[in-house]
Structure formats: structure tokens, C-alpha cells
């Protein structure tokens, strides 16, 4: 049955689910990123922004929804990356603002409509030169549809369903409404990310679980974008953003936070930065603001910031350097034991091998002059990879990561093909290392295996947020176990992967 209200547990699940969805689609969003500049990082920026909120919620562990919303709002503001991340931070500010005004511990459909309206207005107000056919259009459409549903008497689920439908239709229209997107034949990447976040709320309200990206399928906005571009092996267009250039725009992206200021000084700062560059977005207030702008004169931007208050946490990037970093990206190979996990790896853009014999490894890696991350679905697979790497004359770095299917799935969730080798390796290794896991091999009855699984999960869930179940061949009760876990621990996100032949009876990962 759908939720009638959002409470603290549901809010946490929304953030966790949104993070999982953005991780699943980060690579696709990066490749669709052609506006405001084709820097191929929208998916990464949105994921990093939500990561900041999730990490802060985990560190502070707020005990009430108002504290959680305030924490989330500040965390997304301070961790916001790029134009899209700053705009997304306005959604969390809308949540915090509405909760503060209603002074309640739950949110109903009327409140969610108010949140989406507040977020759309704040986002548009924060952009110096708002344009149609962008994430702003998607946010406005979600808000308008939610308000209309609320006025018609819809409850929470109906309001959220309407918001998702409105945002989805607006996202499809961005492909024809904005000239840059029309030429590229793709939807707005930031708008797609915003839709994913609203869809994550829908999944929480409706009680839907599972992976964000279903193997072998793609949403309409991605399908129509793929139809307009050559499709690479990962299922996303490899060079959409390469069709545009930075030549017509500023060379640097500048982001910073500013404190010890006020609305008047921030307005003056916006006017100065708008005259200096483009892609200006300012979010936050009344005590802390996040600023994002593209400029050629970095020193002038910094000086204007100093005049407006106390700027700090500067992040300055040169687009040409990011191009070279992306060119040094890693090759990612997943060595799997089952068809089900292979589908997950392929959806995340990894190459897939189904065997780890020395002959197969030599054929796959010998002669390749590129740094490689090898995700291993089992301890024996990892040992074989390490043995081959030790005995070979491989000229570049080859690093095995993970020793189980669930660690591999966790690593795949943070995979970002646009990042250089070192950044990717750190991210996937950290993700795999956070997983507490256990394999249960068949031989006992289904009831015994389920009891063993529940006992392990019960021991492992404190301060954890995600449970992954990988089912082996002839396992028909994995969904029943997932339902039991969701009922016992409403704050957990539970995903089930039907691995099939090659997997142990059940592999459990808790992270």
C-alpha cells in the first residue's frame, strides 16, 4: 500500500534511492551533457551532490525529520557540484523550508506540492539567465502537475505520480525546445537527473524496490537520445558532448561558498559575476550561499567574492584539463560468474568476461596499453587475476577490485567512466570495502538458508543503508526474503539480483 505521509525513515529512503538511481544513470547523464557547456560531468556532479547529503545524514544520524531536512539542505548546498548540483540543492532547501513552516514530523501530498513549487521558484531565481527547455522547465512542470493534483484532492501518491508524469513530459520536450539540445538530438541531462530524483520519491512512496536501471531496458528519455547518436558498448552515446566545443565560452569553472554576507551583497555579487561570465547559479541563504560560474578571468571572480563576504572552499577547474583527464580514463572489466550479474555490469558500462583462466586473461589483457580496473565476482577469480598480473609483462596498471558479486555490484554503482584511473580506482575500491557480505552455499532446506540469511542481516544492519541479495540457480524465495527485510527494517533499501547458474545459493551484501 502506498505511503500516506513521508516521515524520517521515508525521507532517508528517498535520499538512498535517489543516490542509487543517479549512480545507475551517471554515465548516461554525463554523455548527454551538452548544455550549458559540453563538459560531460552532469551525472557525476549530481551523484557527488547527493553523496554529500547521504554522508552527512549518516554522520549526524538526526532523530527527527526537521533536523534531517536541515542537515540534508546544508549538506547538498556545501557539496553541490556544477550547475546541476547547485540547482538540485534548491530541492532540499524546499524540503527544509516547508518542514520549518508546517512544524510537523510528517509530510503529506499538499506539503510535497509546496516543496516542489518552492524548489522550482528557488532554482529559477538562482539562475542569472534562465532558459526554457532545461532542468528549470522540468522542475516547473513537476511543481505545476503536483499543485494541480493536490488541488484536485489527490493524496501523497497521486501528487507524486503527477509530478513524475509532468516532469517526464517536460524532459522529452527539452529535446526540441532548446536549440543546443535540438542540434544534438538529446534531452537535457540536468533535467533527466531531476526526474530521476523525483522518480526515486515515487519508488519510496509506492514501495517499489530493486535496481534503479533494469537490465535490458532504458527509459524513454534515454532511448530517444540514443536514437540520435552513435551508441557505444556501454549503451550510451560515446561522443555526444564532443560534438560541441568550449571555444565560444569561458575557459574556467569556478565554484565556492560564501558566508558572512547578506541578500543585498549577494545580489551585487550576482550582477558582477553575470557581467564577467556565464552559467551563473547562486543558491542558499540566509547565512550561507553556493556560487557556480564559468569565467575567463578567475582573479576577478575571486576578488568580487571577497568583496561580498567570506568566500571559502574554492574549486577551480579548467575545461581543457578535464578533457585530458577524461582521455586518460580507465578500462573497466568485470569478471562474473552468472548471467544476472553480467547484465548489471553491462548496464553500468563495464566490459564482461565470464571466465578467469590464464588463457582468457592473457587474451583479454595482453597487448592492451591502458590502465585497467578488474572487478572480480569471487575470491578465486581475484586470485587468478593477481597471478596473471604478477607473471605477465603488462605495461600499464592492472588492479583487481572486489572478491564477491555483491562487492562488484557496489563498485559498479559508483563507476564513472569520465574520471581518470586513480579517481575511479579509489571510488570502486572504497565502495567494495564498505560491503559486509556472506555467501550461503546450498545443501540445506530453503527455510534453513532463509534463517541463516536473516540472522546475518540482523547482525549487520545497524548504521547500514543498503542490502543486496544475489540469488543463485533455482532460488525462488529471494523476493520473499527481501520483503521480510523491508518490513523489519523500513529504513533499508533492498535490491535483489537474480544471478542464476554460477552463483552460490545466496550472496548477501550490506553497506
**370 and 466 in a common domain:** no
Query: Does 286 reside within a domain?
Result: yes
Q: How many domains does the chain fold into?
A: 4
Handedness of CA 100, 13, 407, 441 (dihedral sign): positive
Three-state secondary-structure class, residue 58: helix
Q: Which residues pair with 372 in a beta bridge?
A: 331, 398
Query: Does 247 reside within a domain?
Result: no
CA 294, chain centre distance (Å): 23
- How many Å from the N-terminal Cα to the C-terminal Cα in the chain? 27
**Of 459, 460, 465, 452, nearest in space to 504 by CA:** 452
**Of 370, 510, 348, 336, nearest in space to 415 by CA:** 348
List the CATH number of the domain containing 307. Answer: 3.30.70.1150
**158 and 19 in a common domain:** yes
**213 and 351 in a common domain:** no
Q: In this structure, what C-alpha cell is assigned to residue 377?
A: 565476482
Q: Which residues pair with 375 in a beta bridge?
A: 334, 401
List the CATH number of the domain containing 233. Answer: 1.25.40.340
List the CATH number of the domain containing 429. Answer: 3.40.50.10440
Q: Where are the alpha helices (DSSP H) in 82-188?
A: 82-102, 109-126, 135-151, 156-177, 179-184
**Of 302, 296, 294, 295, nearest in space to 258 by CA:** 302
Using H for helix, E for strand and C for coil, what is the string for 66-77?
HHHHHHHHHHHH
**Residue-range definition of the domain harbouring residue 375:** 329-433
**151 and 263 in a common domain:** no
Q: Is 381 exposed, middle or buried (0-12, 13-18, 19+ CB in 10 A)?
A: buried
Contact 508, 468 (CB under 8 A): yes
Task: Round to whole Å and give the CA distance between 140 and 405.
Answer: 41
| pLDDT (0 to 100) of residue 242 | 42
Task: Round to whole Å and give the CA distance between 388 and 65.
Answer: 52
**307 and 159 in a common domain:** no
Could you say which residues of the chain have pLDDT below 70? 34-40, 209-217, 226-248, 320-329, 366-369, 390-396, 443-444
Q: In this structure, what C-alpha cell is assigned to residue 320?
A: 581543457
Task: Round to whole Å and give the CA distance between 368 and 372.
Answer: 9
**447 and 501 in a common domain:** yes
Q: In this structure, what C-alpha cell is assigned to residue 30?
A: 554525463
**189 and 59 in a common domain:** yes
DSSP state of 423: H
pTM above 0.95, yes or no: no
Task: Round to whole Å and give the CA distance between 22 and 281.
Answer: 21
Q: Is 314 exposed, middle or buried (0-12, 13-18, 19+ CB in 10 A)?
A: middle
Query: Does 246 reside within a domain?
Result: no
Q: In this structure, what C-alpha cell is assigned to residue 142?
A: 513537476
Query: Does 462 reside within a domain?
Result: yes
Amino acid at each position: 500500500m502506498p505511503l500516506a505521509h513521508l516521515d524520517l525513515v521515508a525521507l532517508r529512503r528517498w535520499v538512498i534511492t535517489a543516490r542509487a538511481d543517479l549512480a545507475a544513470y551517471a554515465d548516461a547523464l554525463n554523455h548527454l551533457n551538452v548544455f550549458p557547456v559540453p563538459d560531460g560531468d552532469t551525472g557525476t556532479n549530481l551523484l557527488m551532490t547527493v553523496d554529500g547529503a547521504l554522508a552527512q545524514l549518516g554522520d549526524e544520524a538526526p532523530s527527527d525529520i526537521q533536523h534531517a531536512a536541515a542537515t540534508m539542505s546544508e549538506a547538498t548546498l556545501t557539496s553541490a557540484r556544477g550547475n546541476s548540483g547547485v540547482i538540485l540543492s534548491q530541492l532540499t532547501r524546499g524540503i527544509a523550508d516547508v518542514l520549518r513552516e508546517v512544524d510537523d514530523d510528517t509530510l503529506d501530498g499538499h506539503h510535497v506540492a509546496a516543496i516542489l513549487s518552492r524548489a522550482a521558484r528557488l532554482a529559477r531565481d538562482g539562475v542569472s539567465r534562465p532558459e526554457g527547455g532545461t532542468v528549470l522547465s522540468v522542475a516547473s512542470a513537476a511543481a505545476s502537475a503536483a499543485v494541480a493534483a493536490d488541488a484536485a484532492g489527490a493524496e501523497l501518491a497521486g501528487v507524486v505520480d503527477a509530478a513524475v508524469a509532468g516532469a517526464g513530459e517536460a524532459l522529452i520536450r527539452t529535446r526540441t525546445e532548446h536549440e543546443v539540445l535540438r542540434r544534438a538530438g538529446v534531452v537535457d541531462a540536468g533535467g533527466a537527473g531531476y526526474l530521476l530524483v523525483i522518480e526515486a520519491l515515487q519508488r519510496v512512496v509506492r514501495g517499489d524496490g530493486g535496481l534503479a536501471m533494469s537490465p535490458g531496458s532504458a527509459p524513454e528519455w534515454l532511448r530517444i537520445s540514443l536514437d540520435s547518436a552513435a551508441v557505444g558498448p556501454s549503451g550510451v552515446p560515446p561522443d555526444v558532448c564532443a560534438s560541441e566545443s568550449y571555444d565560444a565560452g569561458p575557459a574556467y569553472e569556478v565554484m565556492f561558498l560564501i558566508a558572512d554576507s547578506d541578500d543585498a551583497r549577494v545580489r551585487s555579487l550576482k550582477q558582477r559575476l553575470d557581467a564577467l561570465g556565464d552559467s551563473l547559479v547562486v543558491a542558499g541563504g540566509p547565512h550561507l550561499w553556493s556560487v557556480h560560474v564559468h569565467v575567463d578571468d578567475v582573479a576577478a571572480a575571486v576578488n568580487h567574492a571577497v568583496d561580498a563576504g567570506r568566500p571559502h572552499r574554492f574549486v577551480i577547474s579548467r575545461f581543457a584539463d578535464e578533457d585530458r583527464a577524461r582521455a586518460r580514463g580507465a578500462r573497466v572489466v568485470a569478471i562474473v560468474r552468472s548471467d544476472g550479474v553480467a547484465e548489471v555490469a553491462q548496464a553500468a558500462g563495464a566490459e564482461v568476461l565470464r571466465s578467469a583462466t590464464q588463457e582468457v586473461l592473457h587474451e583479454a589483457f595482453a597487448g592492451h596499453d591502458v590502465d585497467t580496473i578488474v572487478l572480480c565476482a569471487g575470491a578465486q577469480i581475484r586470485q587468478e587475476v593477481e597471478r596473471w598480473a604478477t607473471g605477465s609483462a603488462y605495461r600499464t596498471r592492472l588492479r583487481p577490485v572486489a572478491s564477491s558479486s555483491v562487492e562488484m555490484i557496489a563498485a559498479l554503482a559508483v563507476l564513472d567512466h569520465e574520471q581518470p584511473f586513480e579517481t575511479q580506482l579509489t571510488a570502486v575500491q572504497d565502495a567494495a570495502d564498505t560491503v559486509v557480505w556472506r555467501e550461503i552455499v546450498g545443501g540445506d532446506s530453503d527455510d534453513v538458508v532463509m534463517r541463516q540469511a536473516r540472522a546475518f542481516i540482523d547482525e549487520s544492519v545497524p548504521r547500514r543503508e543498503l542490502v543486496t541479495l544475489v540469488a543463485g540457480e533455482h532460488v525462488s524465495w529471494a523476493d520473499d526474503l527481501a520483503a521480510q527485510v523491508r518490513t523489519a527494517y523500513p529504513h533499508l533499501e533492498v535490491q535483489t539480483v537474480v544471478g542464476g547458474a554460477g552463483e552460490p545459493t545466496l550472496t548477501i551484501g550490506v553497506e
